[in-house]
Structure 1
Amino acid sequence: MKRPGPLLTLLAGLLLGLFMLSLNATTGTKTASSSYQEKSPAPKSSPAPKSSPAPTRTTAPPSASPSRTPAPTGVYTGRTDDDSSAVAVSLKGGKAIAYFCDGHNIESWLKGDVEDDGSMRLTGEDGAKLTGTVKGRRLGGSADVGGGHYTFTIDKAKKPSGLFRANSQVAGARIEGGWIILPNGKQVGILTRDGKPSAAPAIDPDTGAVTVDGQQLTARPVTP
Structure 2
Amino acid sequence: MSRLGPMYTLAAGAVIAVALGAASLKAAPVIQQVAAQEDTSQTASPAEASASAAPEASATPVPTPTATKADTATAVATPADTTPKKVDYAGVAQGNGGLVAIAVRNGKAVAYFCDGHIEAWLKGTAENNTITLEGKDSLITAALGGGKAQGRLQVGHAKWRFVAPVVKKPSGLYRATAIVRGAKIVGGWIVLPNGQEVGRVAIGGNGEPAPRFTPGSPLDYYGIALRPRDPDSFIDEVTP
Tell me which interval the TM-score lies in, with the shorter structure as reference length: 0.5 to 0.7
SS for the counterpart of 2:127 is: coil
* Contact kept in structure 2, 1:164 and 1:220, CA below 8 Å: yes
TM-score of the superposition, structure 2-length normalised?
0.62
Mark the CA change 1:76 to 1:161 in structure 2 (over 3 Å): closer, same or farther.
Answer: same
Structure 1 residue ranges, 4+ long, deviating more than 2 angstroms after superposition: 59-67, 169-174
**Which residue in 1 is equivalent to 2:133?**
122
Whose helix fraction is larger, Structure 1's or Structure 2's? 2
2:192 paired residue among 168, 176, 182: 182
**Which residue in 1 is equivalent to 2:148?**
138
Structure 1 residues without counterparts, runs of 5 or longer: 1-56
Task: Quote how far apart the aligned CAs of 1:112 are.
Answer: 1.1
Task: Quote how far apart the aligned CAs of 1:113 are.
Answer: 1.4
Instruction: For residues 134-170 of structure 1, give each alpha carbon's deviation from its aligned partner in whole angstroms, at most 9, with x where no partner exists.
Output: 1121110111103211110010011210111111024
1:96 and 1:152 map into 2 onto residues whose CA distance is 17
2:126 and 2:182 map into 1 onto residues whose CA distance is 38
**Which residue in 2 is equivalent to 1:8?**
none
Task: Quote how far apart the aligned CAs of 1:94 are.
Answer: 1.4
SS for the counterpart of 1:84 is: coil
Query: Given residue 184 of structure 2, which amino acid in structure 1 is its aligned partner?
Result: R
2:228 paired residue among 209, 212, 219: 219
**Which residue in 1 is equivalent to 2:88?**
75
1:213 and 1:172 map into 2 onto residues whose CA distance is 16
TM-score of the superposition, structure 1-length normalised?
0.66
Task: Quote how far apart the aligned CAs of 1:217 are.
Answer: 1.7
* Contact kept in structure 2, 1:208 and 1:220, CA below 8 Å: no
2:211 and 2:104 map into 1 onto residues whose CA distance is 26
Instruction: For residues 60-117 of structure 1, give each alpha carbon's deviation from its aligned partner in whole angstroms, at most 9, with x where no partner exists.
Output: 646463550332231100111125211001011112111111112x11111111221x
1:128 and 1:81 map into 2 onto residues whose CA distance is 16
State whether structure 2 residue 179 is matched by structure 1 residue 166: no
- Give me the identity figure in percent: 37
Task: Quote how far apart the aligned CAs of 1:220 are.
Answer: 0.7
The structure number with the bigger radius of gyration is 1
2:193 and 2:160 map into 1 onto residues whose CA distance is 20
State how many pairs are aligned.
164
2:116 and 2:161 map into 1 onto residues whose CA distance is 17
Q: CA RMSD in A?
A: 2.2
1:172 and 1:190 map into 2 onto residues whose CA distance is 20
* Contact kept in structure 1, 2:130 and 2:143, CA below 8 Å: yes
1:69 and 1:173 map into 2 onto residues whose CA distance is 42
Task: Quote how far apart the aligned CAs of 1:119 are.
Answer: 1.2
